[in-house]
Homo-oligomer: A and B are copies of this chain.
Amino acid sequence: MNKPGSVGAAQPRTMHFQEPLHFRSGAVLDSYELMYETYGALNEARSNAVLVCHALNASHHVAGFYADDPDNIGWWDNMIGPGKPLDTERFFVIGVNNPGGCFGSTGPASINPKTGKPYGSSFPVVTVEDWVHAQARLADRLGIQTFAAVMGGSLGAMQAMQWAIRFPERIRNAIVVAATPKLSAQNIAFNEVARQAITTDPDFHGGDYYELGVVPRRGLRLARMIGHITYLSDDAMMEKFGRILRSGAVNFHFDVDFEVESYLRHQGDKFANYFDANTYLLITRALDYFDPAGEHGGDLSQALASATARFLVISFTSDWRFSAARSREIVKALLDNRRDVSYAEIDAPHGHDAFLLEDPRYHALVRAWYENVHRDLAS
């Protein structure tokens, strides 16, 4: 019973890996599992696979819904499905929960087979490089040598960039949305406050809270509230909430007076109910550490010299978290290498979150790009 334009009921699957995963930090997981979903069909040439990489709080559940939970819609369902910009009638699309996550792949809440207890604070600090490494192994298992495209927004875009740098022969197109080549000091600062909110929560217990029957809810809630502010533009917030008062007047208290306060508390509470605090720490750290130019003396052009994929780079004018100027740095570095790159700066009011929204110009662009990718597959 498909909904129109939907991939239908998604089937999350688990892939078990018995070989060790070596992390950039030097840490090792002897074995691990990845949770993933696929939509559409792999063609005979195995050439139509597209990997969709998730950002901070998302998962392998990229499109469709669950038969037993029909309101649980994939996080990029507006982009991916039959007849959608990334058309699952043409492409075989893969979403995967990264290692360290909290949606089924091995992460801090998983049981460490060596101790019989959750990893907790002992889970390795993961990096974008580690994720791409793990994703490449999953591709091997699925029999995919080369991706037609790797695509992502925000932190997902960092993974698409890293794919192009690390596995140039395995990726024909990189779609890099709302990206930055590295976090700014302000970006790191917001991540740090969120982490401090979590690690100073008395229920954090150094990260080993699972067996104590508590979660650092307060910290996680604050982390999400801070995050949310940075995902929206000042204008979008003003448009959405203004200074609207819940009861029509100020009440001279510290409870909710303004709609925006109610919204933030709700978002924080919701998030604290489903997300794992250790995963939040890991993912923000992966953001902080990503800096491909770092090992090239800060030269992004050198860092991208190995990349041969065609790039589509998209930014949004109102994104103040990863501003358009940061995307232009990526484009310039690609052009320095005479790479094939298209760049669009979409005039959208929604801030960083715009990459998840259904802006017609944005979606038309991605659609046109995939038309070309599809045409190239056939030729």
In the complex, the answer to whether B243 meets A183 with C-beta atoms within 8 Å is yes
Collect the chain B residues with CB atoms within 8 Å of residue A205's CB: none
Chain B residues lying within 8 Å of A238, measured Cβ to Cβ, are 184-186
Distance in angstroms from A82 CB to nearest chain B CB is: 38
- Whether a CB of chain B sits under 8 angstroms from the CB of A160 is no
Which 8 pairs of residues, A with B, have the shortest CB-CB distance? A25-B252, A185-B237, A125-B252, A186-B234, A185-B241, A185-B260, A192-B261, A200-B218
A253 within 8 A of B: yes
A265 sits at the interface (CB 8 A) = yes
**Complex: chain B residue closest to A244, CB-CB:** B185
**A294 contacts across to B, CB distance below 8 A:** 243
Q: Are B222 and A200 neighbours in the complex by a CB distance under 8 Å? A: yes
**Which chain B residue lies CB-closest to A26?**
B252
Q: When the two chains form their complex, are residues A192 and B250 in contact, meaning their CB atoms are under 8 A apart?
A: no
With A185-B237, A222-B222, A234-B184 known as contacts, the answer to whether A229 contacts B193 (CB < 8 A) is yes
Q: How far is the CA of A218 from the CA of B216 in the complex (A)?
A: 13
Q: Kindly supply a per-residue 1/0 record for chain A positions 22-34, scoring 1 wherever the CB is within 8 Å of any chain B CB and 0 otherwise.
A: 0011110000000
Q: Which residues of B contact A328 (CB under 8 A)?
A: none
In the complex with contacts A197-B197, A281-B254, A225-B186 CB distance below 8 A: no
Stoichiometry (number of copies): 2
> Which of the candidate stretches A92-100, A284-292, A342-350, A357-365 sits at the interface with the other chain?
A284-292
A102 → chain B closest CB, angstroms: 16
Tell me if A12 counts as interface (CB < 8 A to partner B). Answer: no
Q: Which residues of B contact A200 (CB under 8 A)?
A: 218, 221-222
Contacting A197 at CB < 8 Å: which of B25, B222, B260, B320? Answer: B222
Would you call A254 and B193 a contact (CB within 8 A)? no
Q: Say yes or no: B193 contacts A226, CB within 8 Å.
A: yes
Across the two chains, which residue of chain B brings its CB closest to A227? B193
What CA separation (Å) do A265 and B193 show in the bound complex? 9
Interface string of A222-253 (1 = CB under 8 A from B): 10011011001010011011110000001011
Measured between alpha carbons, how far is A242 from B294 in the docked complex, in Å? 12
List residues of A whose CB falls within 8 A of some B CB: 24-27, 124-125, 182-186, 188-190, 192-193, 195-197, 199-202, 218, 221-222, 225-226, 228-229, 232, 234, 237-238, 240-243, 250, 252-254, 257-258, 260-261, 264-265, 268, 281, 285, 288-289, 291, 294, 320
Known: A241-B185, A243-B291, A254-B281. A229 touches B199 (CB 8 A): no
| A188-B291 Cα distance, complex, nearest whole Å | 33
- Residue in B closest to A23 when the chains form the complex, CB atoms: B252
Partner of A289, one of B202, B250, B264: B250
| Candidates B186, B228, B250; contact of A229 at CB < 8 Å | B186
A232, closest chain B residue (CB): B186
Given A186-B238, A196-B264, 12 more pairs with CB closer than 8 A: A184-B238, A185-B242, A185-B243, A188-B261, A192-B225, A196-B225, A196-B265, A196-B268, A201-B218, A202-B202, A257-B288, A258-B288
Instruction: Determine if A192 and B260 form an interchain contact, defined as CB atoms under 8 angstroms apart.
Output: yes
Determine whether the beta carbon of B253 is less than 8 Å from that of A125.
Answer: yes
Residues of B within 8 A of A250 (CB): 289
Chain B residues within 8 Å of A261, by CB: 188-189, 192
Assembly CA distance A27 to B252 (angstroms): 10
